[in-house]
Structure 1
Amino acid sequence: MTPALADLADLADCDSSDVLADMASLADCARAEGYACVTALREHGARSVEIPAPQFAILLEGEKRVRTASQSLRFVPGDIFLITRRCRIDVVNVPDARSGRYVSAIVPFCDEALTAARTLWNEPLPAAGEVLVRLPLREHRTLLRRWRQSLQDGHYSDARLALATFAMALTRQGHGSLLLPPQPSLAEQVRDRIAAEPARDWPSHEVEAALGLSGATLRRRLAADGTSLRQLLIEARLAHAMGLLYTTRLPLKSVAARVGYRSLPSFSKRFVERYGLQPADIGRA
């Protein structure tokens, strides 16, 4: 490498360190409005994790490995992990060798931000692009610093505006599926309803009434998607439980209760069957 190129590389490394240091304040979660801090002290993985909508994660400490049927990516501090549309992923989170911690901030593109971006977009959408994308944090530092500062100041409307601008910038880079209006399947609609109130019993007749379907039609259409109301209830509850385990210090019994399980052993058994790891292994000290 020539001296000039070496200098440029040093400047890029320095800039990456600066913006990563700025983003590190997200881990304090003083104003964790619209994002979640994920921490872990042990390496762990989960399979077939449902991601219901576009989101991105900023890696602060440790390493993240993600895989779908067609992609396999590795992320380190200084990377942005972008998910452009609803999907399922296998994921492994690895703590940093020096600090012993894995830390990331997960930021969903909220409905308000995506609706604003779709309204403002006035040109043909590019191709949908890949589902999973690795982006350099330094290339998007201005928008993300604006978003972070708005959160710290309590200016949540400005924070959503920054996310809308970020979504449009990413769309212009070729990630068109970010701004495609969602068209959830019946199974996804049912799962989303359950996810909004996971502790409810959700008898079939309530779901049927909410969707305007007969019991026979609901069962037939879900079977055509390879699932059932019972399976969707389990999946939605356990997905919500995973979020609680990552982002709170609630006891396992409280997490189980918040997602409709009265028995902790039953909850743990279902969790292991669904994700392949014990709930106690997530985000615990």
Structure 2
Amino acid sequence: MNINYSASIEAHQLHQSLVRLARADMARDYLCIRSKNQHGLSNIKVSQLHMGFILYGQQQLNLQTKQINFSAGDLYVIKPDTVIDAVNLPDPITGEYLTILVPMCDEVIQAAQMIWAKPVVDRTEAILKFSIDDFATSLAEWQAALFNHDVVKARLCITAILVQLCQQHCSDVLIVPPPKLTKIIHDWVIENPQHYWQSSEFEMRLGLSSATLRRKLSHEDTTLRETITHARLTFALELLYSKKLPMKTIAAKSGYQSVAIFRDRFVERYGIDPAVLAAE
């Protein structure tokens, strides 16, 4: 068999297996973004390292000074503390935009750091672009492990991808920014967005006075209210993409009793009516 033809078959099989994974109804450590409408999201704040791969359609990620375009078959890495605007465009043939987004948990990054065990000397861009084929073996093993409900092996596969990135002179993907108060609060809220969070709860958990909490958040250019709202809307965005639920249910699960208030906050944050995503 022709080597190029064989490689083409393997690439097609990997693509199809990832599509099946994206559409699978199971517990998972990744987010499936599906859309039949072209749409854009503004002011997306990426708080941790993410890896994504485009399966159908195209995506435009806009930073302050540049635009990066992705097509089906591309794999990208977004580093922490990156703020982007995104435009998702469905494939003209299938009529669908489909992407898998994988947040890198601390345990995976720490494991990669231990394996790499070298100084981090690279300084690369905030968003890195590759081909899915560059990581075909690890991605094939990753999706197989997830279908087999083997979370440990799946995380080892993601660790292998991080180490491979280091071998490609992108070792700065292993840099973990110092923990910010904003992220700590964000993570608490996103675990229970329906809870009626009050300042006193965070003050008690953090051992801080009200004034100190406000001052520290001010140094991070935010407020407690903005941080809580950001966490709830991040949770809502994931529901809109991955669960076909009524708008009232999504609003309630995200901590909003009023659909109107939820819609206003979502539009203010992302620049798009959540109904556009809920109607997919």
Cα shift at 1:104: 1.1
Partner of 1:61: 56
| Alpha-carbon distance between aligned partners in 2 of 1:123 and 1:250, rounded to the nearest angstrom | 46
Of 236, 239, 242, which residue of structure 1 is paired with 2:237?
A: 242
For residues 44-92 of structure 1, give each alpha carbon's deviation from its aligned partner in whole angstroms, at most 9, with x where no partner exists: 0010112221111121111111111244211111101211323221101
| Alpha-carbon distance between aligned partners in 2 of 1:155 and 1:41, rounded to the nearest angstrom | 31
1:152-231, aligned counterparts within 5 Å? Answer: 152-231=147-226
* CA distance 1:234–1:52, shift in 2 (3 Å): same
Q: Structure 2 regions of 5+ residues with no counterpart?
A: none
Give the partner amino acid of 1:38: I
> 3-state SS of the aligned residue for 2:110?
helix
1:39-58, aligned counterparts within 5 Å? Answer: 39-58=34-53
| Alpha-carbon distance between aligned partners in 2 of 1:198 and 1:209, rounded to the nearest angstrom | 18
Q: TM-score, normalised by structure 2?
A: 0.92
> 3-state SS of the aligned residue for 1:200?
coil
For residues 19-51 of structure 1, give each alpha carbon's deviation from its aligned partner in whole angstroms, at most 9, with x where no partner exists: 322322212224452112211110000101122
Of 136, 145, 155, which residue of structure 1 is paired with 2:140?
A: 145
* CA distance 1:32–1:73, shift in 2 (3 Å): farther
| Alpha-carbon distance between aligned partners in 2 of 1:9 and 1:70, rounded to the nearest angstrom | 38
Conservation of the 8 A alpha-carbon contact between 1:187 and 1:222:
yes
| Alpha-carbon distance between aligned partners in 1 of 2:104 and 2:156, rounded to the nearest angstrom | 11
Conservation of the 8 A alpha-carbon contact between 1:252 and 1:264:
yes
Matched, 1:256 2:241: no
Cα shift at 1:13: 5.4
Conservation of the 8 A alpha-carbon contact between 1:34 and 1:108:
yes
* CA distance 1:246–1:82, shift in 2 (3 Å): same
Aligned residues: CA RMSD? 2.0
Partner of 2:109: 114
Partner of 1:4: none
Compare 218-227 and 58-67 and name the one that shifted more.
218-227
Q: TM-score, normalised by structure 1?
A: 0.91
Q: Structure 1 regions of 5+ residues with no counterpart?
A: 1-6
Matched, 1:80 2:75: yes
Give the number of aligned pairs: 279
Conservation of the 8 A alpha-carbon contact between 1:66 and 1:91:
yes
Give the partner amino acid of 1:51: V
Compare 113-122 and 23-32 and name the one that shifted more.
23-32
Cα shift at 1:15: 5.1
Give % identity: 32
Matched, 1:34 2:29: yes
Of 12, 15, 18, which residue of structure 2 is paired with 1:17?
A: 12
> 3-state SS of the aligned residue for 2:88?
strand
* CA distance 1:104–1:32, shift in 2 (3 Å): farther
> 3-state SS of the aligned residue for 1:105?
strand
> 3-state SS of the aligned residue for 1:282?
helix
Conservation of the 8 A alpha-carbon contact between 2:245 and 2:278:
no
Give the partner amino acid of 1:107: V
Partner of 1:278: 273
Matched, 1:268 2:263: yes
Give the partner amino acid of 2:28: E
